[in-house]
Structure 1
């Protein structure tokens, strides 16, 4: 049986490509989970040389060649991760100076994270002899913008992990390229950026100013908590959302609708595609409309790395619906994951958003056709019924695919999540669309925008009231923690079920 499976993989270029990609991903994952010294990178180079030598010797033997190539891609994955770990003894890296006080000059390199009682800034160091990023925690005011140049005095420290928690805060920051925290920061001066990247900084800064302007318009058009919900839907802003609303969304499994992730965008893109087709738009035009919408959304939110990844996942789901060939789309998805890991290998283990995005997209691509086949409707549904059915299928696919990961990462099972998603997800694309139109109209002719905002507000109230009602049940969510072996076991079972079902329905 295993021999037959091996022969199928070896004789299929598509399956061979997929397996080698997974070998690379597996290599990144294994080496991400261990604290290894920098010299391990040289060991991996030696191992890579040995595998290359063996490949030359046994190239004519197809089985040997197949397994050795798998080993090469595994080692390449491990080497890519180890290459991203900065050396402890390199004086050209900011990490070398942790534990010292230094005067530094840098610019705000990412959108500031503004909270209720403070602000976090990622600052890129501008120094000919030192490179790297630092995290600076400052009071809420004065606020600094993306691209602002800061001269500051820091007691540099290594990021500290939270006591009593398995969460690795240091690796969480490492995915952003941050290896040092500025303790007891003192801002000495503020100026306009003059770095070589100033054009790109200025362009992104204009986009973020536009985003801030839209936020002000949202606060004018809708009262709280509707305004916070709309801001979350349009650009993932949650800092101003009341804690009660956040907790309700968390309990009913709807946090993803106010977070920019591939999990959210993939589901919404799939539902929007069917919605447009149901209302008379042909499939080709609906496809390009959705693609354009995702690209504009990514640009509007500042085109950060996480948003770009989310947009890519959403586009892949649309490709799956358009092409209808799972082998091609599956290879595209896995190849995209490899490219993302080549750019930033830390996201595989230390970025829950990437994990949810990738697995939810896999679920929408591979589980949706299986669930649709199992439902086996005798008549073709159109209009609202088709929209609700697609919402049900997309929701169940994403929930089933991501449930083991959610239990492992967050330790909470939302019992009402399927019902909440079915009742609410169908309206989210339309709230986003009409919310955006309301903002645009308010700029052109404010009273007209206000009228449309009032109508859209009814949908926002529907989401808030329904969420509050479902979260009110004592049994709406249950604390369940899943160990790592349970996570692996459940996904092995899920993959087995998909393969069996795939053979039966000839996907």
Structure 2
């Protein structure tokens, strides 16, 4: 068995252990299951050995796999250790009115109310979700005094969802008093301000609904979405368009490589691309899908840089392993993480089968329709079980809606980023350029509107 195969199976069994432990199964049961798995592989090895169809390579694979299955125990132990450290680090005064200081440690979610992720300052410790009035507006790095009662999140599935981000309490509309600003990371603070300024440039040059939609597909910002637009996107099956994904990373990589490739060395372009991708991930709040895409993009770029062949199977496994190593709870409790990897696995493994079934020709097709059909259909099929489990609804027409919209999304994103940049140079130029961007947005929102009215 080759090294890359050993790495893949070790990671796979490690993830199985993490997933099993997330159900709070007794550790002894997981250990017993891991040993039973190893014994089963050894049993198949002996069956092969005493048959006439065995090969040395197959025997070695079975023996190595049997030992690698013990990584299930390592994964379960890692999850339990992480969970224990997480709980020990929290000291929150629940269900009692108290006054405490807290610092905003993530990008605020704005809308009818502000949602702030706050790190409580000593003598307490831990992170909580604060829901407060839209004004005064608070920013990342602000130090605020709060007065109110912190409650435990309910129901349990919502508590688990928040716990994956180390958030263990909620406080609704407490009394607030601003104390200081810029108390957190200098770099993240400026990246978040850059994000806000890009969104402002969109708002200055486009109608409100179109500015909100463009902010969504470029930066994942959904604060300005009207209820009507949210309902339309949900009904048409296009909500995922405003969830940051590999498409955003791909467009950034292509744009950087194309622009700087003319006058920079290959090595310089490689490091510059990695740097800008890292800044983009931080600026957009490090959502699971974009982190996954960034890790995978970085691995593929590195493979090309050192002229090594990369296996998509291993790239997917390594990306998942890195994210789970950082936070093992995302594997079960982060729906975005699950959707992101399911869609990617569908694209990699379902696309060839769909291509054969429909006897499709090579090439992307007119305006990329063939590639979009394969990508959309394979991704939708892969995430369908997750959607049915979590939402219990699925519209077959969403496939057609996504194919029609995805034709225009890459150009919309490229021109959207360009519009945001031009807005810093000259507002009149940005207004003129926005007329062109507006054509794409009119088309996309029209498709969403049409398909939201069709029900099967």
- TM-score normalised by L of structure 2: 0.80
Residue 373 to residue 114, structure 1, CA distance change in 2 (3 Å): same
Equivalent in 416, 435, 450 of residue 454 of structure 1? 435
Query: Which residue of structure 2 lines up, in the alignment, with residue 251 of structure 1?
Result: 235
- Once the two structures are superposed, the pairs formed by residues 282-431 of structure 1 within 5 Å of their partners are 294=277, 297-303=280-286, 307-313=290-296, 328-377=311-360, 381=363, 385=366, 387-431=368-412
Deviation of 1:309 (Å): 3.1
2:69 counterpart SS class? helix
Deviation of 1:122 (Å): 1.1
1:114 counterpart SS class? coil
Query: Which residue of structure 1 lines up, in the alignment, with residue 53 of structure 2?
Result: none
Cα RMSD for the two superposed structures: 3.9
**Cα distance between partner residues in 2 of 1:215 and 1:270:** 18
**Cα distance between partner residues in 1 of 2:415 and 2:227:** 26
**Cα distance between partner residues in 1 of 2:178 and 2:162:** 26
Cα shift readout 1:300-341 (whole Å, capped 9, x = no counterpart): 425466642343356668899999999722112112211211
Residue 426 to residue 293, structure 1, CA distance change in 2 (3 Å): farther
- Once the two structures are superposed, the pairs formed by residues 209-248 of structure 1 within 5 Å of their partners are 209-248=193-232
**Cα distance between partner residues in 1 of 2:153 and 2:317:** 32
2:381 counterpart SS class? helix
Deviation of 1:440 (Å): 2.0
**Cα distance between partner residues in 1 of 2:308 and 2:371:** 19
Q: Does 1:33 align with 2:23?
A: yes
Residue 405 to residue 441, structure 1, CA distance change in 2 (3 Å): same
Cα shift readout 1:355-377 (whole Å, capped 9, x = no counterpart): 01111111222223343455555
Deviation of 1:107 (Å): 0.8
Query: Which residue of structure 2 lines up, in the alignment, with residue 443 of structure 1?
Result: 424
Q: Does 1:105 align with 2:101?
A: yes
**Cα distance between partner residues in 1 of 2:389 and 2:302:** 30
Equivalent pair of 1:320/1:329 in contact (CA under 8 Å): no
Structure 2: which 5+ runs fail to align?
A: 40-58, 259-265
Residue 20 to residue 362, structure 1, CA distance change in 2 (3 Å): same
Residue 156 to residue 225, structure 1, CA distance change in 2 (3 Å): closer
Q: Which moved more, 1:437-446 or 1:210-219?
A: 437-446
Cα shift readout 1:58-88 (whole Å, capped 9, x = no counterpart): xxx97666424312x1122212222232479
Query: Which residue of structure 2 lines up, in the alignment, with residue 137 of structure 1?
Result: 131
Deviation of 1:44 (Å): 9.0
Residue 327 to residue 303, structure 1, CA distance change in 2 (3 Å): closer
Equivalent in 119, 123, 129 of residue 124 of structure 1? 119
**Cα distance between partner residues in 2 of 1:79 and 1:387:** 46
- Once the two structures are superposed, the pairs formed by residues 61-76 of structure 1 within 5 Å of their partners are 66-71=65-70, 73-76=71-74
Query: Which residue of structure 2 lines up, in the alignment, with residue 82 of structure 1?
Result: 80
- TM-score normalised by L of structure 1: 0.73
Query: Which residue of structure 2 lines up, in the alignment, with residue 6 of structure 1?
Result: none
**Cα distance between partner residues in 1 of 2:437 and 2:126:** 45
**Cα distance between partner residues in 2 of 1:45 and 1:401:** 28
1:124 counterpart SS class? strand
Equivalent pair of 2:118/2:129 in contact (CA under 8 Å): yes
**Cα distance between partner residues in 1 of 2:125 and 2:381:** 43
Query: Which residue of structure 2 lines up, in the alignment, with residue 470 of structure 1?
Result: 451
Residue 460 to residue 237, structure 1, CA distance change in 2 (3 Å): same
**Cα distance between partner residues in 2 of 1:88 and 1:269:** 37
Residue 243 to residue 159, structure 1, CA distance change in 2 (3 Å): same
Query: Which residue of structure 2 lines up, in the alignment, with residue 479 of structure 1?
Result: none
1:348 counterpart SS class? helix
Cα shift readout 1:100-134 (whole Å, capped 9, x = no counterpart): 44432221011111121x1111111232x543112
**Cα distance between partner residues in 2 of 1:234 and 1:426:** 16
Deviation of 1:236 (Å): 1.0
1:245 counterpart SS class? helix
Q: Which moved more, 1:439-448 or 1:410-419?
A: 439-448
Deviation of 1:416 (Å): 0.8
Equivalent pair of 1:265/1:314 in contact (CA under 8 Å): no
Equivalent pair of 2:97/2:147 in contact (CA under 8 Å): yes
**Cα distance between partner residues in 1 of 2:309 and 2:287:** 29
Equivalent in 158, 162, 171 of residue 182 of structure 1? 171
Residue 432 to residue 87, structure 1, CA distance change in 2 (3 Å): closer
Equivalent pair of 2:296/2:315 in contact (CA under 8 Å): no
Structure 1: which 5+ runs fail to align?
A: 1-10, 55-60, 162-166, 277-283, 476-507
| Matched residue count | 423
Equivalent pair of 2:140/2:182 in contact (CA under 8 Å): no
Query: Which residue of structure 1 lines up, in the alignment, with residue 90 of structure 2?
Result: 93
